[in-house]
Amino acid sequence: MNTLCSDNLISILLVFIILPVLLLFWYCYGTVLVLFWYCSGTVLVLFWYCSGTVQPISCEHMPHELSVL
């Protein structure tokens, strides 16, 4: 009985621990990609704007992108 209980416990732990971890990883992985794309794009826009190679119009779009997130 102890082995059966331990096997069931392990399977339950796998379902309730690994499944949420996979879901969180998938969610966070997608979120990290979006945030990385957004942050890298924002940093590039700010860099170009600060270096004077981009018009101020590029920076005016940033609040709209923030509201989408």
For the segment 8-67, what is each residue's pLDDT rounded down to a tens digit?
Answer: 777 777 777 777 777 777 666 666 666 666 666 666 666 666 666 544 444 445 444 444
Do the beta carbons of residue 68 and residue 61 sit within 8 Å? no
What is the predicted pLDDT for the residue at 4? 54
Do the beta carbons of residue 45 and residue 58 sit within 8 Å? yes
Pairwise CA distance, residues 54 & 15, whole Å: 50
What is the predicted pLDDT for the residue at 1? 47
What is the predicted pLDDT for the residue at 69? 46
Q: Is 56 helix (H, G, I), strand (E, B) or coil?
A: coil
**pLDDT at residue 2 greater than cutoff 60:** no
Pairwise CA distance, residues 9 & 11, whole Å: 5
Pairwise CA distance, residues 19 & 5, whole Å: 20
